């Protein structure tokens, strides 16, 4: 229940203890590559319950170091996925510790990899997780939003026989408060739920049985904070939480050299998060130990606009009315990773080799479409690498790469759409070869999307016509986000109703938001479908920021795709040719391309 008229007592800010600069450096340096290796090696770890605990520690050290070196980044996708991955690893460690490997599906979002343990020899062992492992998993579960309530309940250590252990009592007090679960309660009573008064009574009963123990004081301090939360006593909660943080600070200031992760007291952050979204008690204590992004469970603010121009944020509309919106890009984005990608000249060399291969009559004539599509892929990588260095788009080699990609793409579409066995004269880079249709039966949704974006960016009517005339059947049932978005764009370009495909794409995107899977700009496309110019500008700013956030994660910073989004740029170029103004300025939108009517033979009709 949210208290009205609450007056907070003046309190002194609780500062964090000190962690060595060298420890922070070690947590951050080369993290993306290092953690990928750590996760990969988990496939051979003989004791994965401990290995996943170490992986979780590494993620927490990274997030904690970020909270010192770049606190403004804590709410971004990089830290969010790192923290979510820490939770996933910790919950997996708990499941394995409790002999429940059949429920340990440890997929690390940050690296896009992981393992299942259905065949683990220890599956089915009748045991509970250790209190320490359980508490860590629970706290991360609360903060990250990784939902594993039933697993946490099943893996909890037994209270009977451990009534005087504060760590076990804390486990069951948390389950009573958050899950409404009380050990030994009659199943029929449990089925009807647990009232707030019953939860508080259960916590009081467990705490009364504790007596004077010698266990770590943190558990008793956490119990005091939890009890105040369960009682709905906000002043007592804030006093107890402050005392809990003071105790944490004293412990780590006096002990051995602390790890960066000790800067994030998970027990206190979890209780602050529960108070925030459960009771509406925000900012309970002024302390860097409670980063706002973690306390609010990484919940993001509302977008500037939703689909079809709905729910436009008033502040965003006002900002747009005041002048063009600006979306910055990290300078030379491809240099962000420890292992810098190939320089643009390397892409020049590679596409030259591919062009030589096309000119060589050696390759089988029926593999021509595959060769041409590979040329498209690498010419676009070359374009993006150049765009990373020249965000204005003035480098003539950007235009050259796009036009050569168009030439290869147009030829590939001709071959793919031709009757199998038909022979066609195909020209690329000044060389004409007779190639046979048939090896590649159809365009994939991803390839179609790439070629269509290329046609829209350059204004090439022949390539666009080939894409629009492609049979809709290539998108199948349109259940994947790539297929659904492609079908929506295809329907729009050919004059069919794109609405159903847009809705399927929106549904498919939802579970992919917190992954490293690139999602297409569905909301931006919906503004075009609606004909909402203001909504398009607002959604464009959102889409560019989302692209920037996506490529801030781990090794994605090293991808050549980080320099710009072809799909977003394609829609911008399309609306410009339709006569729309685009009041958004960004290095992600090369001016020379956006303002050009066409790079080839003329504007699209």
231 and 316 within one domain: no
Question: How many Å apart are CA 579 and CA 604, to the nearest integer?
Answer: 12
From 295, 316, 337, the end of a domain falls on 295
Strands (E), 207-323: none
Cross-strand partners of 434:
425
In terms of Cα–Cα distance, which of 488, 469, 485, 494 is closest to 413? 469
Instruction: Using alpha carbons, list the distances in angstroms from residue 2 to 7, 223, 270, 277, 280.
Output: 13, 21, 18, 10, 5
CA 67 to chain centre: 18
The angle that helices 445-458 and 481-494 make with each other, rounded to 10 degrees, is 50
The whole model's pTM is what? 0.90
The angle that helices 166-174 and 217-231 make with each other, rounded to 10 degrees, is 30
342 and 257 within one domain: no
345 and 288 within one domain: no
Q: Are the CB atoms for 330 and 548 separated by under 8 Å?
A: yes
Question: How many Å apart are CA 38 and CA 47, to the nearest integer?
Answer: 14
Question: DSSP state, 278?
Answer: I
Here the tokens at position 487 are 């079908």
258 and 333 within one domain: no
Here the tokens at position 307 are 């689909």
In terms of Cα–Cα distance, which of 221, 235, 304 is closest to 527? 304
Q: Are the CB atoms for 499 and 529 separated by under 8 Å?
A: yes
Q: Are the CB atoms for 380 and 450 separated by under 8 Å?
A: yes
265 and 313 within one domain: no
In terms of Cα–Cα distance, which of 175, 118, 521, 562 is closest to 333? 562
Tally of CA atoms within 13 A in the half-sphere of 109 that contains its CB: 24
Alpha helices in 338-395 (DSSP H): 344-359, 368-389
Rg of the chain in Å (alpha carbons): 28
Any domain includes 12: no
Q: Are the CB atoms for 8 and 83 separated by under 8 Å?
A: no
Cross-strand partners of 423:
436
Mean pLDDT of each 10-residue bin along the chain, 605 residues long:
49 90 97 96 93 98 96 93 97 92 86 84 71 97 92 93 93 95 71 81 93 75 97 97 96 90 98 95 95 94 96 98 96 54 81 86 69 94 93 91 96 90 89 80 88 97 95 88 96 97 94 91 98 98 97 92 97 96 97 80 38
In terms of Cα–Cα distance, which of 452, 534, 556, 432 is closest to 33? 556
290 and 372 within one domain: no
Any domain includes 394: yes
Cross-strand partners of 14:
287
What pLDDT is attached to residue 36?
96
SS3 content of the chain, % helix, strand, coil (to 5): 60, 5, 35
Matching residue, tokens 């168009």? 406
**H/E element, 144:** helix 131-144
What pLDDT is attached to residue 367?
73
329 and 286 within one domain: no
Range of the domain at 242: 21-295
CA 398 to chain centre: 30
312 and 282 within one domain: no
Instruction: Using alpha carbons, list the distances in angstroms from residue 407 to 429, 549, 570.
Output: 8, 33, 17
From 261, 295, 329, the end of a domain falls on 295
Any domain includes 599: no
Question: How many Å apart are CA 384 and CA 391, to the nearest integer?
Answer: 10
Here the tokens at position 478 are 């349109």
In terms of Cα–Cα distance, which of 242, 243, 250 is closest to 285? 242
Alpha helices in 418-460 (DSSP H): 445-458
Any domain includes 8: no
Buried/exposed code over 260-286 (b: 16+ C-beta within 10 A; e: otherwise): bbbbbbbbbbbbbbbbbeebebeebbe
146 and 59 within one domain: yes
Decide: helix, strand or coil at residue 432.
strand
Question: How many Å apart are CA 1 and CA 281, to the nearest integer?
Answer: 9
Question: DSSP state, 511?
Answer: G
Per-residue 3-state assignment (H helix, E strand, C coil) for 70-112: CHHHCCCHHHHHHHHHHHHHHHHHHHHHCCCHHHCEEEECCCC
Any domain includes 11: no
Cross-strand partners of 114:
107
Buried/exposed code over 459-470 (b: 16+ C-beta within 10 A; e: otherwise): bbbbbbebbeeb
Any domain includes 237: yes
Here the tokens at position 82 are 């790192």
Number of alpha helices (DSSP H) and beta strands (DSSP E) in the chain: 25, 6
- Which residues, other chains included, contact 311 with Cβ-Cβ below 8 Å and sequence gap of 6+? 302, 305
In terms of Cα–Cα distance, which of 51, 159, 37 is closest to 110? 37
Question: How many Å apart are CA 299 and CA 280, to the nearest integer?
Answer: 14
388 and 497 within one domain: yes
Max distance between CA atoms of the chain, in angstroms, equals 89
366 and 336 within one domain: yes
Matching residue, tokens 């050009």? 596
Q: Residues 596, 599, 602, 605: what is their CA dihedral angle, to the nearest 10 degrees?
A: -70
In terms of Cα–Cα distance, which of 394, 413, 395 is closest to 467? 413
Decide: helix, strand or coil at residue 200.
helix
In terms of Cα–Cα distance, which of 253, 255, 256, 248 is closest to 287? 248
From 295, 328, 357, the end of a domain falls on 295
What pLDDT is attached to residue 192?
60
324 and 265 within one domain: no
Per-residue 3-state assignment (H helix, E strand, C coil) for 11-35: CCCECCCCCCHHHHHHHHCCHHHHH
- In the chain, the number of structural domains is 2
Any domain includes 519: yes
Any domain includes 14: no
What pLDDT is attached to residue 8?
55
């Amino acid at each position: 229940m949210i208290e009205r008229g609450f007056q907070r007592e003046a309190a002194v800010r609780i500062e964090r203890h000190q962690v060595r600069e060298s420890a922070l450096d070690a947590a951050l340096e080369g993290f993306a590559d290092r953690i990928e290796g750590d996760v990969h090696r988990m496939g051979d770890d003989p004791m994965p319950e401990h290995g996943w605990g170490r992986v979780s520690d590494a993620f927490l050290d990274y997030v904690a170091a970020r909270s010192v070196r770049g606190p403004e980044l804590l709410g971004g996708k990089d830290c969010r996925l790192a923290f979510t991955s820490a939770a996933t690893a910790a919950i997996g460690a708990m499941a394995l510790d409790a002999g429940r490997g059949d429920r340990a599906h440890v997929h690390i979002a940050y690296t896009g990899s992981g393992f299942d343990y259905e065949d683990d020899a220890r599956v089915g062992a009748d045991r509970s997780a250790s209190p320490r492992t359980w508490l860590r998993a629970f706290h991360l579960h609360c903060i990250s939003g990784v939902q594993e309530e039933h697993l946490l309940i099943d893996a909890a250590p037994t209270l009977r026989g451990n009534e005087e252990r504060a760590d076990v009592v804390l486990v069951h007090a948390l389950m009573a408060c958050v899950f409404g679960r009380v050990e030994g309660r009659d199943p029929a009573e449990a089925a009807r739920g647990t009232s707030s008064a019953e939860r508080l009574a259960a916590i009081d009963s467990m705490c009364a049985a504790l007596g004077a123990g010698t266990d770590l004081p943190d558990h008793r301090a956490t119990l005091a904070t939890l009890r105040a939360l369960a009682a709905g006593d906000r002043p007592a909660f804030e006093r107890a939480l402050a005392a809990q943080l003071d105790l944490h600070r004293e412990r780590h200031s006096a002990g051995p050299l602390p790890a960066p992760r000790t800067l994030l007291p998970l027990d206190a952050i979890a209780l602050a998060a529960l108070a925030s979204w459960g009771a509406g008690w925000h900012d309970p204590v002024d302390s860097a130990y409670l980063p706002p992004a973690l306390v609010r469970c990484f919940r993001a603010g509302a977008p500037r606009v939703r689909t079809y121009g709905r729910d436009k944020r008033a502040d965003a509309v006002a900002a747009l009315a005041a002048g063009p919106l600006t979306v910055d890009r990290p300078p030379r984005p491809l240099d962000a990773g420890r292992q810098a990608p190939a320089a643009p000249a390397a892409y020049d060399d590679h596409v030259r080799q591919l062009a030589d291969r096309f000119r060589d009559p050696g390759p089988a004539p029926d593999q021509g479409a595959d060769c041409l599509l590979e040329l498209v892929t690498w010419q676009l990588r070359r374009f993006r690498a150049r765009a990373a260095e020249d965000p204005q788009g003035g480098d003539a080699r950007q235009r050259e790469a796009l036009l050569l990609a168009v030439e290869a793409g147009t030829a590939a579409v001709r071959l793919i759409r031709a009757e199998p066995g038909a022979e066609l004269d195909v020209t690329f880079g000044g060389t004409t070869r007779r190639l046979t249709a048939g090896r590649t039966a159809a365009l994939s949704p991803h390839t179609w999307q790439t070629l269509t974006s290329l046609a829209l960016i350059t204004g090439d009517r022949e390539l666009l016509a080939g894409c629009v005339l492609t049979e809709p059947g290539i998108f199948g049932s349109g259940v994947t986000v790539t297929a659904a978005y492609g079908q929506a764009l295809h329907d729009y370009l050919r004059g069919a109703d794109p609405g159903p495909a847009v809705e399927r794409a929106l549904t498919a995107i939802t579970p992919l938001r917190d992954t490293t899977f690139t999602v297409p700009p569905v909301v931006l496309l919906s503004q075009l479908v609606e004909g909402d110019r203001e909504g398009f500008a607002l959604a464009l700013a959102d889409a560019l920021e989302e692209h920037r956030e996506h490529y801030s994660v781990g090794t994605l910073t090293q991808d050549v795709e980080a320099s710009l989004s072809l799909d977003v740029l394609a829609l911008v170029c399309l609306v410009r040719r339709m006569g729309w103004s685009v009041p958004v300025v960004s290095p992600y939108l090369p001016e020379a391309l956006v303002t050009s009517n066409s790079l080839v033979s003329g504007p699209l009709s």
